[in-house]
Structure 1
Amino acid sequence: MRRFEFAVDREHARAVNEVVATLRRLRVLGIGAAIVLGLGTAFLVWVNHPWSYLLAVAFVLGAATSLFIGLWTPHRARVDKLYAAGELVPAVVSETNGTGATLLALVDLAKPNADGPRYALVTRTVRALPGHRIRVGERVPAVTVRIDRAPGSVGDLWQSVSAMPIAWGTRDLNVIERARGEIREVEWELLTDNLDLADKVRDVDAKRLLLDPQQLPDELRG
């Protein structure tokens, strides 16, 4: 797995990193749901009917699950941990609009015990890309993020993999350029040649498009 080490600017990441913002919202929703379900449990116990106790058990289980999500999420939301754990991957701006852009990224979905890489195209809609020009074809180095832990994988492939731009973790343009240079040219060219597939990736239910290994450049066949 190709790693990329750099000093993460946490203040910058808190302001612009959309993955961290999503995990933060998940934490708030989890704790909020736990409170609501806890109050519902208390009410059902107060009703003191056989059916209410059955519902109370379900509410307790739901509250425990929600509380776990709310307490576990902060560990996932540590931005330096996300960058350290991710694999450096290429992403290219495939579309721009008035509110942001769409990135097309090349990721390896294979789990560590898989027999070779399994490359796929994934997309991500972003509102901001500090340090980049918002134009089609712009090369955006990123790292992979797997938001769901379990039971989210099927067989030898991860089920949910997304791309998080390096630019969401640093203001230093030299760091972004260094990350861009550590990605092979053949990977950038593969994305550039397939920009027209971004719409197809967004339309499929899995939000990813597996690439045929036989149609990949020799350098990517593992």
Structure 2
Amino acid sequence: MLEEQQGPNAFSVGPGPVRNDSAAERHLEFQINIPHARRYNESVKESRTAIIVMIVITLGLIAFGAYLLSSSSTWVLVLGGLTALIGIAGLVFAGYAATQIDPKGFLDRGVLNPAIVCAAEKGHIWLLTLGEIGPSDTVWALFATKVADLPGHLNTVGERIPVTCCFAGIEGDRYKTIYVSPIAWGTDSAQVLQGAAQSIDEKEWQLLESMRSRFVSDGDYSIMEAKGIQLLTQVEVAGVSATENPELEATTY
């Protein structure tokens, strides 16, 4: 167990934390390097950018409201006051949101899944991930994510990348939203990255590699949230289904 090993190279694979009355049976527990995660976790960078934009907009509203308050017209004064109040409220919310940014992101929860680099360009790679995406443990799929080059990896086509996946919302027999976070966003330990990859069944890696040609590059693939979801047939997932491997049970958050 992680508690017994201690240190940045320690890790364990087993049941994850309970969230919304469910838990990932195959979860990677490891010591997240916070400075490293702040630097590389793109979900954190995306949140920071959104907050900065919000702050700029709210400061603009406050400045515009202050300008309107210099008017002698009653209705303009009222409009200026409302505009300034909206700006102040937005600024307070942006400040609160900034305190809620967690560099751990989804790294400390979710299912350990295999991903493979299926395309690469200067500074970016596309990950094709294989995972069970239904609460009934019967729906397997491929899904793609575009991320910046990952530390600790060669970032070349065909490279194996261990990731953790979290799911949200139910639509029929599958989850509507899938969040993918490479383990490399949270650690610079080669031992943890290698151990995570080796903890995933070789059958899953082989199935993923055999289906790499299915990927079609799309510049609209977003950071973290998976796109291009393609469901697999029972024949395609024969030998790696959750019924044969109970540890592959998904989880919702």
Q: TM-score, normalised by structure 2?
A: 0.67
Alignment of 1:13-162 (within 5 A): 13-43=37-67, 48=73, 64=89, 67-68=92-93, 71-72=96-97, 74-75=99-100, 77-110=101-134, 114-144=135-165, 153=169, 155=171, 157-162=174-179
Shift of 1:37: 3.0
Partner SS, residue 161 of structure 1: strand
- Contact kept, 8 Å, 1:17 with 1:168, in 2: the verdict is yes
Contact 2:146 2:221 in 1 (8 A): no
Tell which structure's C-alpha radius of gyration is larger.
Answer: 2
Mapped contact 2:145–2:221 kept (Cα < 8 A): no
Q: Secondary structure at the match of 1:4?
A: strand
**Which moved further from structure 2: 198-207 or 98-107?**
198-207
- Cα RMSD of the aligned pairs, angstroms, is 3.4
Instruction: Tell me how many residue pairs correspond in the alignment.
Output: 213
> Given the alignment, which residue of 227, 231, 252 partners 1:211?
231
Q: Distance in 2 between matches of 1:60 and 1:197?
A: 52
Give 3-state SS (helix, strand or coil) of 1:115's partner: coil
SS in 2 for 1:72: helix
Contact 1:144 1:162 in 2 (8 A): yes
Q: Deviations over 1:81-137 (max 9, x none)?
A: 531123211110101223232211124444xxx433533322222332222222211
Partner of 1:194: 211
Give structure 1 stretches of 5+ with no counterpart.
147-151
SS at 1:85 equivalent? coil
CA distance in 1, matches of 2:206, 2:93: 43
Which residue of 162, 167, 191 corresponds with 1:174? 191
Give the conservation status (yes or no) of the 8 Å contact 2:64–2:80: no
Give the Cα–Cα distance (whole angstroms) in 1 for the partners of residues 41 and 232 of structure 2: 32
Structure with the bigger percentage of helix: 1
Change (3 A) 1:84 1:46: same
Structure 2 stretches lacking a partner, 5+ long: 1-23, 244-253
Deviation at 1:211, TM superposition (A): 0.7
1-structure distance, mates of 2:52, 2:166:
20
- Structure 2 SS opposite 1:103: strand
The equivalent residue for 2:18 is none
Give the aligned residue type for 2:227. K
Aligned partners of 1:130 and 1:115: how far apart in 2? 35
1:40-68 Cα offsets, whole Å, 9 max, x none, are 44555665565885797688668746753
SS in 2 for 1:92: strand
- Between the aligned partners of 1:36 and 1:209, the Cα distance in structure 2 is 40
**1:122 touches 1:201 (CA, 8 Å); kept in 2?**
no
Give the counterpart letter for 1:161 in structure 2.
I
User: Percent identity, aligned pairs only?
Assistant: 27
TM-score calculated relative to the size of structure 1: 0.75
SS of the equivalent of 2:145 reads: strand
